[in-house]
Amino acid sequence: MHRLSVKTWSTPVTDETSRPIPCALCGGTRFTLQLSCEGFSYMRCTGCGLVQMNPQPVITEVAGRYREGHGDEYLSYELANEKSFLHLQELALKDVGFAVLEGPLRAKGTPTILDIGCATGALLERFRERGWHALGVEICTPSAEYARQVRNLDVRTLPLIENHFPPAAFDVVLASHLIEHLNDPAAFVQEVHRILRPGGHFLVTTPNIAGFQARLFKSRWRSAIFDHLYLFSIKTLSQLLTQRGFTIAKTRTWGGLAAGTAPSCIKRLADRAAKKFGFGDVMLIHGLKGPFSGKAS
Ligand SMILES: [Zn+2]
């Protein structure tokens, strides 16, 4: 069983400054232990169920990992997996019917897309090829530099909020395997809401703590890694989005068993079942920007 749960690459556990945090979703301060990993723990909020690393490394330490700390290793990891990550992202977009959204957006002129955590910019390049105005945010400086030099893309290295994009600037915002790395996902979602035009699309992909593999492997689950500060479920992530003014248009999960862990016929069956019943290993939520009162409920 152990060898079946190879963890996703992460920066190694170090003795960064950490502190206890209130729940990022409901502000609660009562938790139960969810997963105990080597050097860190995930706690479940008794109020809303959000699973969060707690105590949590502070934001300056976390940001440093992707820059001077381990930026080059991140770039190597992204480059080594670039083709498969692009393929998965395109499959996910296809699966939520993105092509149907794209038609009306393109009919109105040049649609705008922001890919937050765009890594080497492979997906952004595809959008640009299809006539989109494509912009990226990537705080991993070597990856951002690669996207600029090799793909000639406009990629910003400041965290989203520090870019001060104008309000209602984008038709679509993507965040793939990004939100779980952030110290303050609520502030992030609020900023995405501000920079999307009314009715704009937010597509957020992240590991699913309520999936089959998470339940099976527990602390050995491949996504229970030091770089993941939050482990969302469809329920907790939907709540975070609706709290900040989004309407949930669609949710999807994928992946029953990791590649190489079972004969391909078994894996196919497991993958199909996971997708159908919503217990896949990775999930995508498609949110639409609705009105936000300015105060999270
Ligand atoms: Zn909570």
Under 8 Å between Cβ of 7 and 225:
yes
Work out the burial of residue 263: count CB atoms within 10 Å of its CB; fewer than 13 is exposed, 13-18 middle, 19 or more buried.
exposed
Taking the centre of ligand 1 as the mean of its atom positions, its distance from the CA of residue 22, in whole angstroms, is 8
CA angle (178 as vertex; 175, 182 as ends), nearest 5: 125
Rounded to whole angstroms, the maximal C-alpha distance in the chain is 52
Place of tokens 């300056």: 60
Q: Determine the average pLDDT of the residues in 185-196.
A: 98
pLDDT at 275 over 80: no
Taking the centre of ligand 1 as the mean of its atom positions, its distance from the CA of residue 105, in whole angstroms, is 36
Taking the centre of ligand 1 as the mean of its atom positions, its distance from the CA of residue 251, in whole angstroms, is 21
Q: Could you tell me which residue, 78 or 69, shows the higher pLDDT? A: 78
pLDDT at 277 over 80: no
Taking the centre of ligand 1 as the mean of its atom positions, its distance from the CA of residue 55, in whole angstroms, is 15
**pLDDT of res. 294:** 57
* Sequence letter at residue 123: L
**pLDDT of res. 196:** 98
Domains in the chain, please, with CATH?
2-16+82-289 (3.40.50.150)
**pLDDT of res. 41:** 96
Place of tokens 């998470």: 214
Taking the centre of ligand 1 as the mean of its atom positions, its distance from the CA of residue 93, in whole angstroms, is 30
What is the distance of C-alpha 8 from the center of its chain? 14
Q: What value does the mean pLDDT of the chain take?
A: 91
The pLDDT tens digits for 6-61 are 788 888 888 889 999 999 999 999 999 999 999 999 999 999 999 999 999 999 98
- Confidence band (pLDDT; 50, 70, 90) for 293? low
User: Rounded CA gap, 54 and 43, in Å?
Assistant: 6
Under 8 Å between Cβ of 219 and 36:
yes
pTM, two decimals, is 0.92
